[in-house]
Amino acid sequence: MAETVRPEWVLKVSGAVRKRVDGAAREDNVTGAIEVVVADVEVLNESKTPPFEVDQEKEIGEEIRLEYRYLDLRKQRMQKNLKLRHDIVQIIRGYFHDKDFLEIETPILVKGTPEGSREYLVPSRLYNGNFYVLPQSPQQLKQLLMVSGVDKYFQIPRCFRDEDQRGDRQPEFTQFEIEMSFVEQDDVIEVMEGCFVELTQSIRPDKKIQATPFPRITHEDAMHTYGSDKPDLRFELKFADVTDIAKDCGFKVFASAETVKAMNVPGGASLSRKDIDDLTDLAQRHGAGGLAWVRVGEDAGPVVKNSTPEFLKALSKATGAADGDIIFFAAGEYPHALEPLGEVRRAVAAKLDMIDKSIWSYVWIVDFPMFEHSKETGAVGAVHHPFTRPHPEDEALIESDPLKARAVAYDLVLDGNEVGGGSMRIHERDLQKKIFDILGITEEDADRRFGHLLRAFEFGAPPHGGIAMGLDRVCMIFADEPNIREVIAFPKDQKAKDIMLGAPSPMPKEQLDELGVQVIEE
Ligand code: ASP
């Protein structure tokens, strides 16, 4: 009998359990310290040979893992991740419950909650030609709950965004989010910060939080100092502004640039030419023309050849650089020219092992800009979403110079990952209409898309604000996993497909007819 049993068979075994003799215990196995003296075995179910070994943590292709997800989930690593996600959710629920937040479910079939991404549509059978929309987030509904007199709202909603799958995203993902009335930014930040402190202490006691309260950096300072709105602060590397001293440095690219930054990397002269070429590639992939650098104390390299000795001296002074260091530069227009150097900053720190892995660095980025130019269309769009409140000092700017106006919007960043963001909201109908106007949303359009919100604001809407965090990303970081698919039981692949279920899939004609939907074959 024992010979015929194969991996993944389901057995009922009776017998006495005993400790293994000394030396025979298997430490690599959770039940390795005991054994069963089998009296009887009954086969409850057989198993085909699985497409991969379930009890081994071998690297296997993701496609096959997702196709047989129910087998993949049997692995210890995945069971651990499921449990960890469960624990995180329990802590979050308990935390907000204790703070008197009400958990309220909002609908999934809604009328568009545009926040900037493409929406998933659901055709209506009863009203042919009409569609429901799956929510990008419960944004407008949670605001409407504030108008309804709910003081503190909390939910762990599923959100849907029909975007091309760039990077580590999923078409459906989970948030945990709050909304509070009669509050200011500090109230929202404090309550969410407390949740992350509790999560970290309970789930990752091995990590020391770098600083509490979490530091706050304005968006502008973060861009100027780190070239990123999600800086990793586990290491020091900062940019120095050298725009002025570069004015007559002799190097044309620097002299004519609106802003020039220099980032000194202590000990960075040890980077090889190949390392520098890789960093140059990285900078170029993020939009830079190239990557200028100088090895301090060495007479070589393009910057040295093209600039004056006085500039190099002033540069060392401005950056605190010494022999054996390397300085990298960014030159061009704020803020886009700084982003490539921000990427170089991350990569260099990893390469030179500058990251202290024993700490977790939380930081709030505050005072985000209100609007930005879309890179694709050039149109003015909301950086956060159209319901975000302008900074009280910048209310005049929203009309005279909108791109300079700041918002009362904030993101929480952990070790260089954006884990969530929120804002104080507009609660006045006129201000909301004005913002729609700046965003190029016509009155008619505003009425059609947001009429419910504008109407609600006529009935005594309280000041309110909130925030939403990405649960999948939080679980990924807490589980030390490289992507969010590892912490989602049944994720889509990177092309938005569910390989196991075979979704999306064609539908029978009768079903489409009922919906009044016609598929045009390409
Ligand atoms: N609804 C926003 C989002 O999903 C978050 C918020 O402003 O609370 O990104």
The pLDDT tens digits of the residues spanning 214-234 come to 999 999 999 999 999 999 999
Tell me what pLDDT residue 73 has.
Answer: 97
177 Cβ below 6 A of ligand 1: yes
Q: Report how far residue 153's alpha carbon sits from residue 292's, in angstroms, rounded to the nearest whole number.
A: 50
Tell me what pLDDT residue 115 has.
Answer: 61
Q: Which residue has the tokens 């301090």?
A: 296
Per-residue pLDDT of the chain (522 residues; tens, 9 = 90+): 667 899 999 999 999 999 998 888 888 788 889 999 999 999 999 999 999 999 877 889 999 999 999 999 999 999 999 999 999 999 999 999 999 999 999 999 999 666 678 999 999 999 999 999 999 999 999 999 999 999 999 999 999 999 886 778 999 999 999 999 999 999 999 999 999 999 999 999 999 999 999 999 999 999 999 999 999 999 999 999 999 999 988 888 898 899 999 999 999 999 999 999 999 999 999 999 999 999 988 877 778 888 888 888 899 999 999 999 999 999 999 999 999 999 999 999 999 999 999 999 999 999 999 999 877 777 889 999 999 999 999 999 998 999 999 999 999 999 999 999 999 999 999 999 999 999 998 888 888 889 999 999 999 999 999 999 999 999 999 999 999 999 999 999 999 999 999 999 999 999 999 999 999 987
CB within 8 Å of 48: residues ≥ 6 apart: none
| SS3 assignment for 323-351 | CCCEEEEEEECCCHHHHHHHHHHHHHHHH
CB within 8 Å of 451: residues ≥ 6 apart: none
Q: Report how far residue 290's alpha carbon sits from residue 406's, in angstroms, rounded to the nearest whole number.
A: 31
Q: How far is the CA of 9 from the centre of ligand 1 (A)?
A: 46
Q: Report how far residue 174's alpha carbon sits from residue 197's, in angstroms, rounded to the nearest whole number.
A: 20
Q: Report how far residue 299's alpha carbon sits from residue 130's, in angstroms, rounded to the nearest whole number.
A: 70
Q: How far is the CA of 43 from the centre of ligand 1 (A)?
A: 52
Query: Contact, 329 vs 254, CB < 8 A?
Result: yes
Q: Report how far residue 304's alpha carbon sits from residue 243's, in angstroms, rounded to the nearest whole number.
A: 17
Q: Report how far residue 470's alpha carbon sits from residue 505's, in angstroms, rounded to the nearest whole number.
A: 28
Task: Give phi and psi for 433, each to the nearest 5.
Answer: -65, -40
Q: How far is the CA of 368 from the centre of ligand 1 (A)?
A: 14
Query: Contact, 431 vs 438, CB < 8 A?
Result: no
Q: Report how far residue 323's alpha carbon sits from residue 29's, in angstroms, rounded to the nearest whole number.
A: 52
pLDDT tens readout for residues 180-204: 999 999 999 999 999 999 999 999 9
> Best substitution site from 154, 169, 177 to test ligand 1's pocket, by max atoms within 8 Å of Cβ?
177
Q: Which residue has the tokens 């973060």?
A: 222
Query: Contact, 422 vs 401, CB < 8 A?
Result: no
> Best substitution site from 119, 142, 175, 180 to test ligand 1's pocket, by max atoms within 8 Å of Cβ?
175
Q: How far is the CA of 186 from the centre of ligand 1 (A)?
A: 17
> Best substitution site from 110, 113, 115, 117 to test ligand 1's pocket, by max atoms within 8 Å of Cβ?
115
Q: Report how far residue 512's alpha carbon sits from residue 522's, in angstroms, rounded to the nearest whole number.
A: 17
Q: How far is the CA of 279 from the centre of ligand 1 (A)?
A: 34
174 Cβ below 6 A of ligand 1: no
Q: How far is the CA of 116 from the centre of ligand 1 (A)?
A: 11
Q: Report how far residue 441's alpha carbon sits from residue 376's, in angstroms, rounded to the nearest whole number.
A: 18
Give residue 267's region: left, alpha or beta (phi > 0; psi -120 to 50): left
Tell me what pLDDT residue 198 has.
Answer: 98
Atom of ligand 1 nearest to the CA of 387: 7
466 Cβ below 6 A of ligand 1: yes
139 Cβ below 6 A of ligand 1: yes
157 Cβ below 6 A of ligand 1: no
Q: How far is the CA of 347 from the centre of ligand 1 (A)?
A: 29
Beta-ladder partners of 247:
none
Token pair, residue 512, equals 């489409």
Q: How far is the CA of 491 from the centre of ligand 1 (A)?
A: 22
Q: Report how far residue 224's alpha carbon sits from residue 261's, in angstroms, rounded to the nearest whole number.
A: 8
Q: Report how far residue 45's alpha carbon sits from residue 205's, in angstroms, rounded to the nearest whole number.
A: 41
| SS3 assignment for 110-158 | ECCCCCCCCCCEEECCCCCCCEEECCCCCHHHHHHHHHCCCCEEEECCE
Angle at CA of residue 241, ends 238 and 244, nearest 5°: 165
Q: Which among 508, 499, 478, 480 is positioned nearest to 88, based on CA atoms?
A: 478
467 Cβ below 6 A of ligand 1: yes
The gap from C-alpha 30 to its chain's centroid, in whole angstroms, comes to 34
Query: Contact, 439 vs 394, CB < 8 A?
Result: no
Q: Which among 143, 75, 78 is positioned nearest to 455, based on CA atoms?
A: 143
Q: How far is the CA of 421 from the centre of ligand 1 (A)?
A: 6
Residue 255 host element (H or E) = helix 252-255
Give residue 93's region: left, alpha or beta (phi > 0; psi -120 to 50): alpha
Token pair, residue 312, equals 């190099």
Q: Using CB atoms within 10 A of its CB, is residue 433 exposed (0-12), middle (13-18) or buried (19+)?
A: middle
Q: Which among 424, 377, 380 is positioned nearest to 402, based on CA atoms?
A: 380
Atom of ligand 1 nearest to the CA of 175: 4
Query: Contact, 230 vs 292, CB < 8 A?
Result: no
Token pair, residue 361, equals 């660095």
Give the residue, by CA position, lying nearest to ligand 1 atom 8. 467
Q: How far is the CA of 470 from the centre of ligand 1 (A)?
A: 10
Q: Which among 480, 252, 208, 240 is positioned nearest to 341, based on CA atoms?
A: 240
422 Cβ below 6 A of ligand 1: yes
Cα-Cα end-to-end distance for the chain: 57
Tell me what pLDDT residue 511 has.
Answer: 96
Query: Contact, 74 vs 47, CB < 8 A?
Result: no
Question: What are the start-end ranges of the H helices in 4-45?
Answer: none
Q: Report how far residue 269's alpha carbon sits from residue 278's, in angstroms, rounded to the nearest whole number.
A: 15
pLDDT tens readout for residues 304-360: 888 888 888 899 999 999 999 999 999 999 999 999 999 999 999 999 999 999 999
423 Cβ below 6 A of ligand 1: yes
Token pair, residue 294, equals 């100088």
Q: Report how far residue 127's alpha carbon sits from residue 222's, in angstroms, rounded to the nearest whole number.
A: 50
